Structure 1
Amino acid sequence: MTETDNNISDKKLRLTIRFSRNNMAFAVGDPQENGMLVYEPYEMNMGISVAANLREAFKVSELLQSGYKRLLAEIDTPVMLMPIDDFGAQDIETLYHHTYHRQGNEEILSGILPDLNAIAVFAINKDLKLVIDDHFKDIRIQPLMQSVWTHLYRRSYAGPRRKLYAYFHEKRMEVFSFQQNRFRFSNSYEATNEHDALYYLLYIWKLTGMDVEKDELYIVGDIPYQDWLIEKVKQHLKFCRVINQEVYFNNSQLAKRTDIPYDMKTIYLE
């Protein structure tokens, strides 16, 4: 854990802002040390930009008005993953725009995923970044999925079976798997329809050569059709499990809270 000069953990001094499609959330605390996390959701006005919403939030949010100067911003944005060895040999901005057909008012950022020997390339709206820069001095920006990837990668070695993971949030499904210390597969899908989600999972299972008798599918997140999906998946795969967050996070009280997204829990809990 990062420590400051006066021995106060960085988590206590660094505000986290989660930017998703329809809302923001603010959090600060060190629940592993004292069980405390202050969490404040903020419903966005979809008629104005995310940057404008953040400006408005500064007028009403107690956390934003508390004077924090350190920030961890997690952004729900498409991510292009590259092997570390390939980074720098290509024009990542051009490659990102070509991959996602985006050419808007964006700044392309990148971050190292050291456990997975990969670089995450992603975009942030320039107006949003300007608002962030205006209010904070020590700023870290990462994709929303980064903490999820890292957390589940470190758990993926438990047991002999290969594992495919699916994280559901904001009507999307993030599917990924690991092999040794690298990504084996990673992609994102719209998951508003349960039949589409089932199709994608079974297709990816076959595409990646997973064994229906030996390997495991792990599902976590906000899944409105969870019971239906598990029932259907188990007609095709022997091992399909919903991640028990309390067990994964050592029975932390924070793990029991359903109002906090799983990706934020993986930032604060190990």
Structure 2
Amino acid sequence: MKITIRITRTTITFTAPNTVIEGQTDFEQYNMKSGIAVAANLRQALAECHILKTQTAPERQTSAATSQHHPVFDTATVYVDTPLLLIPAEEYDEEAMPTLYHHVNSQYKDDNVVGTPIPQINVVAAYAVGKDLSFVLTETFRTVHFMPLLAPVLVEFCRHSYGGFQEKLFCYFHDRRIDVCAFRKGRVRFCSAFDVSLTPDAVYYILNVWQTLGMKRTDVLCLAGSITGHEALLKELRRFIKNIRNITI
């Protein structure tokens, strides 16, 4: 059975089908503790996770004592929130990928680099996965599949980019960060992330990208995610952008 784990800078969440009630999905969230590594947070979250404890079938608990892997959930899909390097699929070179990624994101030079194809937008997403993090996960689950947190978001934004003659800029707010991206004819035109703590910071970064891409006042700005100070943000942005939409992803 598969469990999905989402690891961000502030939380770790677990999502899995309930093994007792058919059709029910269980969800559990662990808040990151500051001052300790992500891998240490994950190890503690795994130890405290009620989904992993309560959904261990009693008849399997004996075998669990002799196995290093979880007796019910043998597969984990793990979404990690580290910076992305989007490589056009036709230019992707698996051997060169780690060097390219570490050149752009030198703070992750000691981490493994994983490449995940996103065929819907014709790119391979390169991202960092900590070695200690991988070790903790492979201790618990027989099979671990990594995915970039932003992958499904990019696919959904690309889908929304079709239709109409106006250019569209997409902003995804989460974990005190904005991921900003734009598409043209199904290809990525721009994709970057900015750390934000205050509404003026968010306004500055969005308008800076808007101007850099040469977008017009009548083009469309699409906002999604968990937005702090939503009304204040809209008030400032509407001074410069006419069409602002909130979309659900």
SS at the partner of 2:107?
coil
Q: Among residues 40, 45, 50, which one is paired with 1:52 in the alignment?
A: 40
Q: Deviations over 1:226-251 (max 9, x none)?
A: 111111111111101122x3xxxxxx
Q: Is the 8 A contact 1:57 1:64 kept in 2?
A: no
Q: Within 2, Cα distance between the matches of 1:236 and 1:46?
A: 38
* Counterpart check, 1:105 vs 2:93: no
Q: Among residues 234, 239, 246, which one is paired with 1:235 in the alignment?
A: 239
Q: Within 2, Cα distance between the matches of 1:195 and 1:53?
A: 32
Alpha-carbon offset, residue 104 of structure 1: 4.4
Alpha-carbon offset, residue 27 of structure 1: 0.7
* Counterpart check, 1:87 vs 2:92: yes
Q: Within 2, Cα distance between the matches of 1:63 and 1:185?
A: 39
Q: Within 2, Cα distance between the matches of 1:238 and 1:103?
A: 39
Equivalent residue, structure 2, for 1:63: 51
Q: Deviations over 1:139-191 (max 9, x none)?
A: 22111111111122123214443211001111101000111121010000011
Q: Among residues 224, 229, 244, which one is paired with 1:225 in the alignment?
A: 229
* Counterpart check, 1:115 vs 2:103: no
* Counterpart check, 1:140 vs 2:145: yes
Q: Deviations over 1:36-74 (max 9, x none)?
A: 431100122223222122222222212233321111101
Equivalent residue, structure 2, for 1:129: 134
Q: Deviations over 1:70-123 (max 9, x none)?
A: 111010101111111111186221111110122543111101010111110000
Q: Within 2, Cα distance between the matches of 1:233 and 1:40?
A: 35
Kindly report which structure 2 residues correspond to 1:163-202, keeping only aligned pairs within 5 A, or say none. 163-202=168-207
TM-score normalised according to structure 1 size: 0.79
* Counterpart check, 1:38 vs 2:42: no
Q: Within 1, Cα distance between the matches of 2:108 and 2:26?
A: 37
Q: Is the 8 A contact 2:12 2:45 kept in 1?
A: no
Q: Could you tell which deviates more after superposition, 88-97 or 221-230? A: 88-97
Unaligned runs of 5+ in 1: 1-12, 246-265
Q: Is the 8 A contact 1:74 1:144 kept in 2?
A: yes
SS at the partner of 2:215?
coil
SS at the partner of 1:149?
helix
Q: Within 1, Cα distance between the matches of 2:13 and 2:183?
A: 29
Aligned length, in residue pairs: 229
Equivalent residue, structure 2, for 1:260: none
Q: Within 1, Cα distance between the matches of 2:188 and 2:117?
A: 13
Amino acid across the alignment from 1:73? V
Q: Is the 8 A contact 2:86 2:126 kept in 1?
A: yes
Unaligned runs of 5+ in 2: 56-71
| Distance of aligned partners of 1:136 and 1:167 in 2 relative to their CA distance in 1, 3 Å threshold | same
Q: Within 2, Cα distance between the matches of 1:89 and 1:70?
A: 25
Q: Is the 8 A contact 1:17 1:26 kept in 2?
A: yes
Kindly report which structure 2 residues correspond to 1:12-27, keeping only aligned pairs within 5 A, or say none. 13-27=1-15
Q: Is the 8 A contact 1:108 1:121 kept in 2?
A: yes
When Rg is computed on C-alpha atoms for both structures, the one with the higher figure is 2
Q: Among residues 189, 199, 211, which one is paired with 1:206 in the alignment?
A: 211
